[in-house]
Amino acid sequence: MLVWIVVGIATVVVAVSAMVLGDYPLTPAQIGEVLLGGGTRPEQYVVLQVRLPRLLMALLAGAALGVAGALLQGMLRNPLASPDLLGISGGSTVAAVYALLVLGITGPALAAIAFGGGLVASLLLLAAARGQAAGLRLILAGIGVSFLSASIVGFLMTRVQLQQTQSALVWLTGTLSSTPWWQVIVLALTWVLALPVLAVLSRRLPVAVLGADTAVGLGVRPGVVRILVILVAVLLTAVTCAFIGPISFIALCAPAIARPLVAHGSLAIGPSALVGALLLCASDLVAQFAIPGVAVPAGIVTGALGAVFLLWLLATSKGRAL
Amino acid sequence: MTDQTREGVQLAASQLSVHELVAGYPGRRVIDGLDLEIAAGRVTMIIGANACGKSTLLGALARLRAPISGRIELGGEDIARIPRTEYARQVGLLPQHPIAPEGLTVAELVSRGRHPHRGLFARWSARDTAIVDQAMERTGMTALAERPVGDLSGGQRQRAWIAMALAQDPSILLLDEPTTFLDLSHQLDLLELLRTLNREQGTTIVVVLHDLNLAARFADDLIVMAEGRVIAHGAPVDVLTAETIAEAFALESIVISDPLTHTPLVIPKPGGSHTSADAG
């Protein structure tokens, strides 16, 4: 319990910092005033148009990735499973890079195409998810899709002009800068869609992971659970990926941090959401302010932190869980 | 456990009956036209050679796979028409290879047995806690409640799974070779536990078992299967004869009375096996 209070407080601290810090420093009191409808024009612009949507995007997207990772890792009983590994982000990336570089598409249309790419990749996953050896086949299919998309992206990047690759690279690393409100709203609506399914899964997935026969004995159809898990994970990942790019490692790390905190072997779906939100928000903060004057995309920080975390996990006793 | 639900369970008179069952896999009928009644409130054990269809039968009773044809009834109602959750409240299953995810504690595992009794939005109740505690106590798992299932010994692990099945509180409990991988004293322990559950709670117990002599010792009713058919069904002392064993296992044996329990004791004759090396 105590540990969750700490995580909760840390999230609030990070969120407040994200609102306060920046080229136009504000006090919490000023921010409160703006949120209540007051403040000067510049203050209103910075708070309402720049920092608040960016913060909300970081929280919603981090939570989405955390949940997608927790669901997939739980279902596949593999702590290395994540939307990146399963090729969901890969499908989105190929579609987005193609649209960006070859078709010259940006804005909402780009997001829609990235989402479509994620869906196509997930159709492959769903096809692989049938039958008894579903777990292993899913992971193998996912790895295949990941490699395929990496090579397609590499091919596309070598075929275009240098300056064009710049914008694609920023998207590819994953960034939260200049998040428009409509993206926040679409992601929030995605959450509204996902929540009822998550409510059902939070009851059935813990039963389904006890093995197909045990699940049937307890009145749960494992095949249905599997499809629901993939659908929700794809929905949350593909929408997130479409807006902020394939942010790496959050989906892998958030459940890996949350599960030991829960401690009794539960799937930690809710805790993973909280940890994911905290991780992405903190990473974005570090990305903006760690190097004075140089803001880097958040994906670089999550990748660097994630890699260190993974090594630490392997090196310590907690690594037993891997 | 309130009086009401206990009464409800008994009213269901949960007798399983199998009618002209055809079951198996696409292209292979493991069971072809089987009729069977499993008496309520008794310990029934199913024995037979490998691939005789005993696990397929248990799977059909547990609704793991729909029958190719024929039907199974629970208290006179076709089980295919009973909603899955409702069926799970009455019939529990301990499969041969259940999976405990990494780090899962005994208490958490046992509490998952409550799944079929919980409404979609119903919160965990004091009654759920009481039943889970009771299930762990009956199986001697209370002291191990916070230990990860993966860290337990084979015997303890199997008890943890039985505790989960008890938390499910079914009136019929199906078990597929629950003593595999256990040493003899833990096998006896486990079968003793199942019989105690049957005697004290009236739970109908149906077990697929490999060991003939243990089956004879602990079963009220013995079902002997061969090639997808029931070749004998009844009290162990009536069913377990040298002829039946020869037919079911292609094995020459003599059957004597166990000097301690007076149940049949099968003693294979030296060199009495007529199965070829690759069969089975």
A38 touching B (Cβ < 8 Å): no
Contact B250, B49 (CB under 8 A): yes
pLDDT of residue A130: 66
Each residue's pLDDT tens digit, B130-188? 999 999 998 999 999 999 998 999 889 999 999 999 999 999 999 999 998 888 998 99
pLDDT of B6 > 50? The answer is no
Position B46 scores a pLDDT of 95
Checking if the pLDDT of A37 tops 70, the result is yes
**Inter-chain CB proximity A210 and B100 less than 8 Å:** yes
- Look at residue A158 and tell me whether its pLDDT is greater than 60: yes
Q: How far is CA A223 from CA A205, A208, A235, B65, B112, in A?
A: 11, 9, 18, 13, 18
A319 pLDDT band (50/70/90 cuts)? very low
Mean pLDDT of chain B: 88
Cβ distance of B112 and A219 shorter than 8 Å:
no
B84 and A207 in contact by Cβ < 8 A? Answer: no
Q: Which residue of B has its CA nearest to A217?
A: B93
Query: What pLDDT is recorded for position A131?
Result: 56
Structure tokens at A253: 């790390």
Region B58-78 average pLDDT: 92
How far away is chain B from the Cα of A260, in angstroms, using its nearest Cα? 9
Query: Is residue B236 exposed (0-12), middle (13-18) or buried (19+ Cβ within 10 Å)?
Result: buried
Task: Give A186 to chain B, closest Cα distance, Å.
Answer: 27
How many angstroms from the chain centroid is the CA of residue B113?
Answer: 16
pLDDT over 60 (residue A318): no
Contact of A251 with A62, CB cutoff 8 Å: no
Query: Which pLDDT score is estimated for A263?
Result: 75
pLDDT over threshold 60, residue A125: yes
Percent above pLDDT 90 for chain A: 24
Q: Are strands B77-78 and B69-74 parallel, antiparallel or unpaired?
A: antiparallel
pLDDT of the residue at B1 = 39
For residues B6 and B201, the answer to whether their CB atoms sit within 8 Å is: no
Tell me B148's DSSP state. B
Task: Check residue A265 and give left, alpha or beta (phi > 0: left; psi -120 to 50: alpha).
Answer: left
Q: What is the predicted pLDDT for the residue at B205?
A: 95
CA distance B25 to chain A (A): 13
Among candidate residues B185, B98, B77, the one with its CA nearest the CA of residue A209: B98
Mean per-residue pLDDT for A94-112?
83
A-chain CB neighbours of B144 within 8 Å are none
- C-alpha to C-alpha distance for A224 and A56, rounded to whole angstroms: 32
CA A72 – CA A268 distance, rounded (Å)? 12
Checking if the pLDDT of A97 tops 60, the result is yes
CA distance B14 to B69: 22
Q: Return the amino acid letter for B28.
A: R
A202 has a chain B CB within 8 A of its CB: no
B98 CB neighbour count, 10 Å cutoff: 23
Phi then psi for residue B35, to 5 deg, are -115, 140
Determine the angle formed by the axes of helices A88-101 and A108-128, rounding to 10 degrees: 140
Query: Of A79, A218, A263, which has the smallest distance from its Cβ to B116's Cβ?
Result: A218
Residue B181 vs residue B248, higher pLDDT: B248
Residue A43: band (very low, low, confident or very high) from pLDDT cuts 50, 70, 90: confident
Task: Please tell me if residue A211 touches chain B, with a CB cutoff of 8 Å.
Answer: yes
Q: What is the mean pLDDT of residues A157-161?
A: 81
- A322 interfacial to chain B (CB closer than 8 Å): no
**Smallest Cα distance from B249 to chain A, Å:** 28
Give A216's contacts in chain B (Cβ within 8 Å): 62-64, 84, 93
C-alpha to C-alpha distance for B264 and B1, rounded to whole angstroms: 38
pLDDT in tens, A166-189: 777 777 777 788 788 988 999 999
> CB–CB of B47/B209 below 8 Å?
yes
- Tell me what pLDDT residue B9 has: 43
Q: Which residue in chain A is spatially nearest to B104 when comparing CA positions?
A: A265
Kindly list the residues from chain A whose CB atom is less than 8 angstroms away from the CB atom of residue B99: 77, 209-211, 214
State whether B115 and A210 contact (CB < 8 Å).
Answer: no
Cβ <8 Å between B115 and A211: no
Distances (CA, A) of A97 to A155, A249, B119, B273: 11, 20, 46, 68
Distance from CA of B174 to the nearest CA of A (A): 9
- Average pLDDT of A246-254? 86
Q: In the 8-state DSSP scheme, what is residue B124?
A: P
Contact A275, A8 (CB under 8 A): no
Which of A66-80, A119-133, B120-134, B235-249 comes out lowest in average pLDDT?
A119-133
Are residues A227 and A126 in contact, defined by beta-carbon separation less than 8 angstroms? Answer: yes
Residue A63 has pLDDT above 60, yes or no: yes
Number of Cβ pairs < 8 A linking chain A and chain B: 96
| B11 — pLDDT class (breaks 50, 70, 90) | very low
Task: Quote the percentage of chain A above a pLDDT of 70.
Answer: 95
| Residue B190 neighbours by CB under 8 Å, 6+ apart | B155, B158, B159, B162, B178, B179, B182
Confidence of residue A129 (pLDDT cuts 50, 70, 90): low
Inter-chain CB proximity A210 and B148 less than 8 Å: no
No. of helices (H) and no. of strands (E), chain A? 14, 0
**Residue contact A77–B87, C-beta within 8 A:** no
Q: Does A219 touch chain B (CB under 8 A)?
A: yes
Instruction: For residues A97 and A170, give the distance between their C-alpha atoms in angstroms, rounded to a whole number.
Output: 11
- The closest CB to that of B101, out of A209, A220, A263, belongs to A209
- By C-alpha distance, the chain B residue nearest A75 is B101
Q: Is the pLDDT of residue A320 over 70?
A: no
CA nearest neighbour of A244 among A70, A56, A74, A18: A56
Q: According to the model, what pLDDT value does residue B7 have?
A: 41
The ipTM (two decimal places) reads 0.86
Q: pTM higher than 0.80, yes or no? A: yes
Q: Which residues of A touch B152 (CB under 8 A)?
A: none
- What is the DSSP pairing of strand B204-208 with strand B43-48? parallel
pLDDT at A108: 78
Distance from CA of A259 to the nearest CA of B (A): 9
